[in-house]
Amino acid sequence: MAIVIDEHAPSPPTLGFSAPTPPRESLAAGDTPYRLTVAKRKQALELRKTMKPLMEKRRRARINDSLNHLKSLILPLTGRDKTRYSKLEKADILEMTVRFLSDMPPVNTKVTSQRSVAATREPRTREPPVAIGITVPISGSGPMSVPPGREAASSLQLNRIMRPDDANIMGTVHGGTILKMIEEAGCVIGTRHCNTQNGEHCLAALVRVEKTEFLTPMFIGEVAHVTAEITYTSEHSLEVQVKVMAENVLTGAKKMTNKAALWYVPCSLKNVDKIMEVPPIKYASAEQGEEGRKRYEAQKMARLETKTRIEEVASPPPNPEQHTVGFSQSSLIHLVGPSDCTLHDYVHGGVTMKLMDEVAGIVAARHCNTNIVTASVDAINFHRKIKKGCVVTVTGRLTFVSNRSMEIEVLVDASQLMDTAVGRYRAVSAFFTYISLDKDNKPLPVPPLKIEGEEEQRCFEEGKARYLQNKSKRLAEKERQQ
């Protein structure tokens, strides 16, 4: 009997497991699968050793590109000039970024996670256009849900696009417009916080604005993002820190333009002279609460000192000489209407600050005859309230001039239009600092101020002392950041 073997027939099934045999063409004479695997591993190891310098070079290039990109993003956000900070170490860029992110208000992760979960469950639809207004991360069924005993919002953001009527003829947004937005944000978050406890309703009234820096100018068409956060509360007052970012809607670039600290007291809606208690806030650490208490005591002492040095405004002489105090001194008279007032029929602090900035800008422009912008505002003290129907007189005069800046004292006096028995009184006072710019927004030298009389000399020396003190603080802050 002959046995015929069919080479193309399928092989019989095998029991158990067996390693696959490689094709005959892949094995040389005397080679085994194990020897072939060892050879491939050695070849891969040699390839990695050869490619390691190239991969390291690519990794360093990626790190350097990312750091350069991070520097180009963080410098405008912190209000620094790229030309002055062109050479920065890698550690400096990272530390600057960490400081900036640490100053950002905390994000409500609970609300964000709920939104993200809801977004995954809902079908994708066309997003509605962005609304320009006030957005506050609060819990509840909707933005207007205000249940009794609700928790206060940790932060608030007010967004608004800058229009032509917000800026000067050069397209730069008025400092008064920014100050008004800052005060509105502080008033909203302060009022909401003070009404979180059950009891009599109240409204947060502005009593003081700490020194406000104008880091970079804002222009027409940019969107202002005003973020407010309550950082300290005492028994009858609260501190609100506000930051302003400007966004270019065409490029998406953002920059920080302003930082300010405001103090409010809650006034009862039934009796404006009744100061309500402020609900306390929780601090991240005991040191944070102690630092806030020190700021509270310092501003309290500064307000008392300001009240003791209230002076009358001297009228300028006839036909004053150019570059004298009397030549640039300016006044503005404004009748307080309903649109200027709060629910108490008293003037909004932001309206008053806007008027003060307008007068200070006129004084600076008359002295320089160039484009001028607000550089900073020293502490603004609100001594007394201004009621609806009052006539407000805002007066500005130069007190000190350096090579590149001008200090202008602005005083606000109010008087009743109908009730003359009340008399005229000092309502607000502050010092504004302006700089002169050319057509490319570069600083220009300021003409020197001609002093006439002992009173002007005294004001000049006091202004010089404030200038040197602020300059030393800026240098110390700059060294600390570097």
Q: Which residues are catalytic?
A: 168, 357
Strand partners, 387: 346
Residue 158 CB partners (closer than 8 Å, separation 6+): 133, 134, 181, 184, 185, 188, 224, 225, 226, 228
Quick one: CA torsion of 42, 44, 47, 48, rounded to 10 degrees? -110
Q: What is the 3-state secondary structure (H, E, C) of 46-70?
A: HHHHHHHHHHHHHHHHHHHHHHHHH
Question: How far does Cα 105 stand from its chain's mean position?
Answer: 10
β-pairing, 425-437 vs 380-382, is antiparallel
SS3 104: coil
Decide if 220 contacts 163 (C-beta within 8 A): yes
Quick one: CA torsion of 270, 271, 277, 279, rounded to 10 degrees? 30
Q: What distances in angstroms separate CA 121 from CA 18, 108, 137, one per listed residue?
A: 49, 21, 21
